[in-house]
Homo-oligomer: A and B are copies of this chain.
Amino acid sequence: MSIPLPALLSDRLHVWRSSVDERLASYCELQSGCPEVLRDAIRYSLLAPGKRLRPLLVLSAAEACGCDPGEAIPAACAVEMVHAYSLIHDDLPAMDDDDLRRGRPTCHVQYGEAVAILAGDALLAMAFESLATDLPPEVAAECCRLLACAAGPTRLVGGQADDLAAEHDSSEYDLAQLESIHHRKTGALLAASLQLGATIAGAPTEQISRLEAYGLKIGLAFQVVDDLLDLSGDEQVLGKRTGRDSDLGKLTYPRLLGIPESRLLAANLVEQACGELVDFSGPTDTLESIARYILARDR
């Protein structure tokens, strides 16, 4: 099920990822009341091979703020559920109409459109259930608030709506609008991942704010690299179609800035992100290695 993480990422991150995958699998052992085809579709999408970038950010942030990362696993699973839900719905025929994801047919290709819509809906609800049920009560409500805000109409959903609108007419979009879309569509959930880890650790406001800034910066870098990979990446390695952006007439960083400038922008963003990693009570080396991995990734 697992895909190899690059050597840049430490053995500890591999162990963390296994712990997250185990817990994700246990969240998929749904009680009676869940039809089999729905459970299959949820498992298929949530347990698909993936980097588990967002869960690793939750755990790394908790560690940087001096907390045992194990305490943050329910939150790590919750952000992965929100991520999986957003991929299922983004891939739908009415949205990006994609047929390949993480090297396999997309959820609606595999299970039909109705089940795919419902599997996404279910994963969004499951995310809040895992936070509300499995985190200590004194942080659970604040974590639900952070995740709901990141997933809602002004962030994740709003960014996706504007991204779809830009597909149909990207002529009037500029760099600021592209950044705004990606801050909401990608950055908000990455930033929330870090905020959740820090909140569980009981971190002071300044640390949470610096982690949020780090998250928005690596989020933007992630998107610039995504655009570059869509131009020149290997479909086999990526596990999804390349060339989709230009097929859909999407506005991308390489299209706006050119390839060399886009590479430079991504590198600068990662440097700026790493610059935020000061004055933490725990180690920040995993956050630094994740930021550098985002720049160097080929999938």
CB-based contact B155/A121 at 8 Å: no
CB-based contact B132/A117 at 8 Å: no
CB-based contact A33/B128 at 8 Å: no
Q: State how many angstroms separate the Cβ of A184 from the closest Cβ of chain B.
A: 6
Roughly how many angstroms separate A135 CA and B184 CA in the complex, as a whole number? 26
CB-based contact A129/B152 at 8 Å: yes
Residues of B within 8 A of A161 (CB): 35, 37-38, 114-115, 118
Roughly how many angstroms separate A149 CA and B156 CA in the complex, as a whole number? 22
Roughly how many angstroms separate A207 CA and B12 CA in the complex, as a whole number? 48
- CB of A162 within 8 A of chain B? yes
Chain A interface helix/strand/loop/mixed = helix
The contact string, 1 if C-beta is below 8 Å from chain B, for chain A 168-200, is 000000000000100010000000000000000
CB-based contact A165/B35 at 8 Å: yes
Which of A88-96, A209-217, A276-284 binds B? A88-96
Roughly how many angstroms separate A121 CA and B157 CA in the complex, as a whole number? 7
CB-based contact A152/B126 at 8 Å: yes
CB-based contact A154/B117 at 8 Å: no
Closest to A136 in B: B141
Roughly how many angstroms separate A148 CA and B134 CA in the complex, as a whole number? 13
The contact string, 1 if C-beta is below 8 Å from chain B, for chain A 110-152, is 0011110110111011111101110101101110110111011
CB-based contact B89/A117 at 8 Å: yes
Q: State how many angstroms separate the Cβ of A279 from the closest Cβ of chain B.
A: 28
CB-based contact B114/A95 at 8 Å: yes
Roughly how many angstroms separate A132 CA and B137 CA in the complex, as a whole number? 12
- CB of A158 within 8 A of chain B? yes
Residues of B within 8 A of A164 (CB): 114
- CB of A256 within 8 A of chain B? no
Our pick among B34, B94, B114, B120 for the contact of A158 (Cβ within 8 Å) is: B34
CB-based contact A148/B160 at 8 Å: no
Roughly how many angstroms separate A125 CA and B184 CA in the complex, as a whole number? 14
Residues of B within 8 A of A152 (CB): 122, 125-126, 129
- List residues of A whose CB falls within 8 A of some B CB: 30-35, 37-39, 42, 85, 89, 92, 94-95, 112-115, 117-118, 120-122, 124-129, 131-133, 135, 137-138, 140-142, 144-145, 147-149, 151-162, 164-165, 180, 184
